[in-house]
A and B are shown apart, each in its own frame.
Chain A
Amino acid sequence: MSINSTRRAFTFGISAAAAGLAMSVRPLRSVAAPGNAPIAANEESPPEITAWIKIEPDDTTIIQVARSEMGQGNFTTLPMLVAEELECDWRFVRPRYVGANENILRGHAWGSMVTAASISVRESQSYLRKAGAQARHMLIAEAADRWQISPDECVARDSVVTHVPTGRTLRYGEIAEAAAHRPIPADVRLKPPEEWRLIGQSIPRVDVRDKVVGNPIYASDVRLPDMLFASVSACPVLGGRLKSFDASRIRGMPGVRRVVAVEGIAVAVLADSWWQAKKACDALPITWDPGEGKQVSTQTIRETYADGLTADDVAIGRKIGDVNKALSQALSVVHADYEVPYLAHTTMEPQTCTAYVRGEDVEVWAPTQNGEGTLVNVANTLGIPPSKVIVHKHHLGGGFGRRGLAQDWSRMAAHIAKQVDRPVKMIWTREEDIQHDYYRPMVLARQSAGFDAAGHLIGWQVRVCGSSILVDLSPDLLVNGQDLEMCNAFRDADMAYHVPNFEVGYVMRNNSVPVGYWRGVNHSQNGFFRECFIDELAHARNQDPYLFRRTLLSTAPRSLAVVDEVAKRANWGSARKGLFQGMALVECYNSVTAQVVEISVDDAGVLTVHRVVCAIDAGYIVNPDIVEAQMQGAVAYALGAVLYGAITLRDGEVEQSNFHDYRALRMNEMPRVETYLASSGDKYTKAWGGVGEPGTPPLAPAVCNAVFAATGKRIRSLPLANQQLRS
């Protein structure tokens, strides 16, 4: 397309100019010692062939990665997308992080760095494949020129261009530098799926070896000359402030260098080692001003939300027909109230960030789900231009939504580091991490659904009440002041059930408890409400929950296919004696996922989850082995929350503090997980689906529906640890 080509050329021109600019304004050389070198592109590497690719003379192929690796496989899957079209030998591929600073200076040459909402593959696949194809064309064109023949007579494969008629060859490494200076072709044909050779293969991950030998790949492993270590203590009452502290009491303690206030809400102790800092921080007398937050407890929040369920200030997330009329005309109506608690993330690596502030020159070593977000946050925190900040991205020791828009940890590190003239590595204790999170919201839900005389579901009304994530983390995404994402799993894009009269509404009630993104946020709490209620409706009609879902999916072939697949694979309805099944379906991140869970409950009420069968349709799959791992991981993450997860508040303070009272799933509780790919390619939608989160939302309702099958007890609030399963 000509328009496209013009714009492409223009963009390239800007990028090239900006690249020069980037070099000239680059504020400082990194202080990182070679042993601490972040996994970032080397400045002395060869020129780019498109923004994404650099090929060394020895064929080493550096593929730049803008999104973050936090265990979900981005360092493997994103380069696979490029390599598929580049036709390079996969063994030569070396992924490197793109610098956030460079991305901004070059007009976002590498697109978005956001690593959230299961977005990395699905949002970047088209431009990554395109870049690979463009680079291949440039390499072929260079070879053809050297041979004085037509590019059409050449093929590229395994990092070699071959002139087919003569059998002459040139390695990519021999022509890469010259190819890099050729114009980038605007229009390139992408391979159709049947020609893919890498996409769809279980290529081993590139980051595994580092992770089994203990290599220093995490931000918390960074070691810099002259570095100090910081331990922090933030006001235990959420929303409270720092009043005073008595540094004289700890000044003589070994290794202690400084005690500093942080943003008026926390204190940091800086010492020669982290242990010294932590010990002194524990011993430091601090006076807090708890403020209004002290009035907040789980019970007061629950009362506020319960009132909210009948309030008039409702933001409607989706409306079909006239639900009030339908419910008033219904022959029978089912009502149910549900509740989920706040949940912490507990990334295995507690919150950490290292920062070095020298006047206006700033470097940050960060485990971030959003490199650019960290950069802008740090720049704003310090009141300096973004161009003065370098962010070194490191692999994350877990993300789960804690390290994306929630940048409290990078802000805090910047505040601490600006008060000393040495680099500072801040590491939170696990207690700080659990008590100062951006929690998955506590939410109350009320649902009513009615059937007509023929037994058809004619109306379904949903109200949810909780505090808004967008208000806390991303107010620019509010629509008319409202956070409709709190209705996810019930909206057009993510609920396939056909109900002639339907309405979901959200009542916003904000408070001092910070809320944020979480693996499958909103879809997971609302998926629990929705899929348990569907199970209730099926039982109200004396129907099998699977067949009941089928009747509501007659106009939704994609979801129907996934439900059918999971039912078939799980032998729905034929569980072994003593085992009971529960099913759930959730559509999210443009994927459809259904799970069947098999459980047993013994006479004492002890629940065992034996098996989880997952079927997922994510459109196209880049790496099936990684999808399987993500399903296992999503099940473990969700099951820990279903069984134990609850953050509660008393007098404004979080009551949980470490893994003994905020439990995670352990090895002995891990069920067998079977994953079946029900990939529909582009049959239903051109957009690809996400994989990191979709396995999480169906798990809670599938477990609780199985509990009902086993015990007749309907679970309407979580976690299960608070419930008696046998009375």
Chain B
Amino acid sequence: MSASLGSITVNGLPRRPVSAGDTPLLWYLRDELGLTGTRFGCGAGLCGCCTVHVDGKAVRSCLERIDGLGGKQVTTIEQLSSNGLHPLQEAWIALQVPQCGYCQSGQIMQAAALLSENPDPSDADIDAAMSGNICRCGTYPRIRAAIKRVAKMQTKSSANRAPNSLE
């Protein structure tokens, strides 16, 4: 039962779940912790709506049992950036990505994991990383543009830093 569950770090805070060990991370976050920014779409890992980070990797929280998460770091949309908005969130606003918005937490978490692994993704890289996340409103063109915008800004700023590092 819950007593045997290890501590999970959620958004930087150590937590000891009360929920049963087979509870999917999604419902632990939503119903026990009240972190409702992570949303339910399919319950089967098919739509990406519930994507969060576990140790920095994008995972479908609807499929992730909490008894497998002991000692791990979980990050949700609420704490994607501990300091203001994440550059992706800023890009999402600048390019007016969301329509209904329901899938966007998952889209942003997926995109953030992509950029942390691949700071300058090609269209094919974006397709490969993002095609597991469904958006029924069809915001895909703007999601793609927003990811590229952040990639471009980050590549540029690291390019600007490069000469300094040589000095």
* Interface positions of A (Cβ within 8 A of B): 70-73, 204-205, 207-218, 220-221, 223, 229, 254, 273-276, 278, 346-350, 395-400, 427, 429-430, 625, 629, 632-637, 658-660, 664-670, 672-673
Instruction: Enumerate the 3 nearest inter-chain pairs by beta-carbon distance, A residue then B residue, closest first.
Output: A214-B37, A636-B138, A211-B101
Known: A213-B85, A659-B46. A204 touches B96 (CB 8 A): yes
User: A629 to B142, Cβ gap below 8 A?
Assistant: yes
What would be 18 A-B contacts, judged by CB atoms less than 8 Å apart? Answer: A72-B99, A204-B93, A208-B98, A211-B98, A213-B89, A214-B78, A220-B39, A221-B36, A223-B34, A278-B43, A348-B137, A349-B40, A349-B100, A629-B139, A637-B137, A637-B138, A659-B44, A664-B136
User: B44 to A273, Cβ gap below 8 A?
Assistant: no
| Chain B residues, Cβ within 8 Å of A346 | 136
Q: Which residue of B lies closest to A434 (CB)?
A: B42
User: B19 to A273, Cβ gap below 8 A?
Assistant: yes
Cβ < 8 Å to A, chain B residues 72-120:
76-78, 85, 89, 92-93, 96-105, 108
B32 interface contact, C-beta 8 A: yes
- Expressed in whole angstroms, the Cα–Cα distance for A396 and B102 within the complex equals 8
Q: How many B residues, CB 8 Å from partner?
A: 58
Known: A212-B108, A214-B36, A223-B34. A398 touches B136 (CB 8 A): yes
User: B134 to A666, Cβ gap below 8 A?
Assistant: yes
User: A348 to B142, Cβ gap below 8 A?
Assistant: no
User: A660 to B98, Cβ gap below 8 A?
Assistant: no
User: A430 to B42, Cβ gap below 8 A?
Assistant: yes
- Expressed in whole angstroms, the Cα–Cα distance for A429 and B97 within the complex equals 27
| Chain A residues, Cβ within 8 Å of B32 | 273
Name A664's contact: one of B108, B134, B141, B144 (CB within 8 Å).
B134
| Chain B residues, Cβ within 8 Å of A629 | 96, 99, 139, 142
Q: Which of B35, B42, B93 has the most CB of A within 10 A?
A: B42
- Expressed in whole angstroms, the Cα–Cα distance for A254 and B34 within the complex equals 20
Known: A632-B141, A667-B126, A668-B131. A216 touches B136 (CB 8 A): no
**Closest CB in chain A relative to B98 CB, distance in Å:** 4
**Closest CB in chain A relative to B88 CB, distance in Å:** 8
* Interface positions of B (Cβ within 8 A of A): 19-20, 23-24, 27, 30-32, 34-44, 46-47, 49, 76-78, 85, 89, 92-93, 96-105, 108, 126-128, 130-144
User: A395 to B96, Cβ gap below 8 A?
Assistant: no
Known: A214-B38, A254-B20, A637-B136. A667 touches B99 (CB 8 A): no
| Chain B residues, Cβ within 8 Å of A72 | 99
**Closest CB in chain B relative to A68 CB, distance in Å:** 11
User: B139 to A633, Cβ gap below 8 A?
Assistant: yes
Known: A212-B92, A427-B40. A672 touches B141 (CB 8 A): yes
| Chain A residues, Cβ within 8 Å of B138 | 632-637, 665, 670
**Closest CB in chain A relative to B118 CB, distance in Å:** 15
**Closest CB in chain B relative to A494 CB, distance in Å:** 24
Known: A275-B19, A395-B101. A212 touches B131 (CB 8 A): no
User: A211 to B104, Cβ gap below 8 A?
Assistant: yes
| Chain B residues, Cβ within 8 Å of A274 | 27, 30-31
| Chain B residues, Cβ within 8 Å of A637 | 136-138
Known: A71-B100, A275-B19, A659-B134. A632 touches B142 (CB 8 A): yes
| Chain B residues, Cβ within 8 Å of A636 | 135-138, 140
User: B38 to A395, Cβ gap below 8 A?
Assistant: no
| Chain A residues, Cβ within 8 Å of B30 | 274
User: B137 to A214, Cβ gap below 8 A?
Assistant: no
**Closest CB in chain B relative to A426 CB, distance in Å:** 13
Known: A273-B27, A667-B131, A668-B131. A350 touches B40 (CB 8 A): yes
Name A208's contact: one of B47, B93, B108, B131 (CB within 8 Å).
B93
